[in-house]
Structure 1
């Protein structure tokens, strides 16, 4: 075997499998208890399907919430489709797992974040030390554990 073990891709595949399993369970049984999900995804991913007005409004990424008002959740090996209400207008979305940037269940303080190779390359050029300063909205902790997202940004006041 040349090139070594690609732990990053193996971990991402396992994390996407976890999301698949969780959503499949929700599709079959519904959301248990207080569980709900904030799912942020890349709206420019080539396999994402959403209304033109939504991709115009969210040209880079979008966060959807699966909690009280969602219908027709359909889970496949590659992604999931769901109908969500935007105001009073229902819209069908298809989100491949590869487009997901974060998956958070604030009810149990669980979160996953997926880094792309571009973001990792950009981090190498960043002169800020890994433990220095906030890294964006919500003052999340430094990216020492890239797969875990702090939930402060999702908490209700």
Structure 2
């Protein structure tokens, strides 16, 4: 059996850690300057908590904006809770980090995009001899995380 390093999963974990650090700073100090976030997430993720009317309106994915009005931001190691305003109706949300598809701060042209949502895969994957044979037949493309698509 051989080992291989799952760089894609490791990179996603590091990027989610960055999101957590940014949100923890906002929780403690508020949003600095013109910073604001567009966060797109999978509304069907089993740990997402949103109002039924929101999941009905956005089946699959939804983008929320944290900018002028938000409250009750509570950041944990697994995700964050926040209350946002939807048409003058405050709604509490809980979004786990592994449900996030994109995180963008357009004020500084910064963005992260998660190509896959496979956190259940271990960082180092053990291959059986059958897996190695399959790998030789099927070439694997490297997963490249590009920030250029979020630049103006």
Number of aligned residues: 129
* Runs of 5+ consecutive residues of structure 2 not aligned to the other structure: 119-140
Residue 74 of structure 1 is matched in structure 2 by: 74
CA-to-aligned-CA distance 1:47-88 (integer Å, 9 cap, x gap): 000000000000010000000011110000000000001001
In 2: Cα distance, 1:42 partner to 1:7 partner:
22
Residue 150 of structure 2 is matched in structure 1 by: 151
How far has the Cα of 1:115 moved from its partner?
1.1
Q: Which structure exhibits the higher relative contact order, with contacts defined as CA atoms closer than 8 Å and separated by 6 or more residues?
A: 2
Residue 50 of structure 1 is matched in structure 2 by: 50
Q: Which has the higher strand share?
A: 2
Q: 4+ residue stretches of structure 1 with deviation over 6 A?
A: none
How far has the Cα of 1:148 moved from its partner?
2.5
Residue 24 of structure 1 is matched in structure 2 by: 24
Residue 111 of structure 1 is matched in structure 2 by: 111
Q: Report if the CA contact (8 A) 1:114-1:147 is conserved.
A: no
In 2: Cα distance, 1:147 partner to 1:31 partner:
25
* Runs of 5+ consecutive residues of structure 1 not aligned to the other structure: 119-129, 131-143
Residue 90 of structure 2 is matched in structure 1 by: 90
CA-to-aligned-CA distance 1:110-150 (integer Å, 9 cap, x gap): 000001168xxxxxxxxxxx9xxxxxxxxxxxxx8434262
* TM-score normalised per structure 1: 0.76
Q: Report if the CA contact (8 A) 1:82-1:93 is conserved.
A: yes
Q: Rg: which structure is higher?
A: 2
Q: Report if the CA contact (8 A) 1:72-1:82 is conserved.
A: yes
| Root-mean-square deviation over aligned CA pairs | 2.1
